[in-house]
Amino acid sequence: MAQVTKDTLIGDAIRMDQGIIPILMGAGMHCIGCPSAQGESLAEAAMVHGIDADGLVNAVNEYLTAKEQ
């Protein structure tokens, strides 16, 4: 089962499942295509954007879990 953590790089998460992009953009991360964003962890990006990292990770993992079912 695919899951992400706060340490997962944005680029790795997107390669895992591109369906994660709308979740990130909905959370206010509109720089998904930016080369530097690809090397940031979810926690780092959440901090820069003032987003709760745990909530973001939970939302992504809920999506991934639902998709597998």
pLDDT digits (tens, 9 = 90+) for 12-49: 999 999 999 999 999 988 877 788 778 899 999 999 99
Tell which residue, 32, 31, 39, 50, has the closest CA to residue 8: 39
pTM value?
Answer: 0.90
Query: In terms of Cα–Cα distance, which of 48, 51, 69, 64 is closest to 16?
Result: 64
Torsion, Cα 18 19 22 25, to 10 degrees, reads -40
> What's the pLDDT at 37?
79
> Which has more confidence, 36 or 9?
9
**Which tokens sit at 56?**
């973001």
